A = this chain, B = another copy of it.
Amino acid sequence: MNRDSQVSITVIRRLPKYHRYLTELIEKGVSRISSQELSALTGFTASQIRQDLNNFGGFGQQGYGYNVEDLHRELGKILGLDAKYNAVVVGAGNLGQAIANYKGFEDAGFKVLSLFDRNPRVIGLRIRDIEIRDMDTLVDFIEENNVEIGIITTPKENAQEIADTYVKSGIKGIWNFAPTDLLVPDNVVIENVRLNESLFILSYFLKNLEESRA
């Protein structure tokens, strides 16, 4: 059991926001920051920020605060941003292409090697320098290119089948955009992006905004 694994997922999900603001601070040339200042930026309380960071060790210094670069680097390590992974996308529609184009991807250490689709009209096309290939070549490609991350940007009907193929090919992590829950073994990790759920929440907020003024 490693130390990090006992930190609650609630805490972990706040780390990317800290990391993002620290990136901005570095760009601005700020070298030092207090939990109170970070609180003003992120909206989390200063106390919570200190508690969160202390789960991983004492990165700060009394009377001084936190060194921006150090904290940024430590959070990057905790989040695994120093590792590099090869990825593929199944589903070369707009969403798949958007992801292949997405620059933020490489900041997280992921490199999209190829997109896959069944539609003959897109097979062979290139997004930047990333080729769209036939689904039939997916398994071989994964095995030959040390691909560890599989992305799913297809309709939900195909998602589980693709996940199964990914698992069989030895993939370690799946980034799933299809609005369905995938079944995979314990040794494969899944992170879902739920666009429709996000939209429903927006709808809820809108409804409540109106009702509270009615």
Q: Which residues of A contact B (CB under 8 A)?
A: 1-2, 4-5, 12-13, 15-17, 19-20, 43, 78-81, 83, 85, 93-95, 97-98, 101-102, 104-105, 107-110, 148-149, 172-173, 175, 179, 181, 187, 189, 191, 193-209, 211-214
A201 to chain B, nearest CB (A): 5
- Known A-B contacts A81-B203, A94-B97; A209 and B187 likewise in contact (beta carbons under 8 Å): yes
For residue A200, which residues in chain B have a CB less than 8 angstroms away from its CB?
A: 15-16, 19, 79, 81, 108
> Can you list 11 residue pairs at the A/B interface with Cβ under 8 Å?
A1-B212, A12-B201, A13-B197, A15-B204, A16-B194, A83-B207, A85-B206, A93-B101, A94-B97, A149-B206, A173-B202
Among A5, A104, A213, chain B packs the most CB atoms within 10 A around the CB of A104
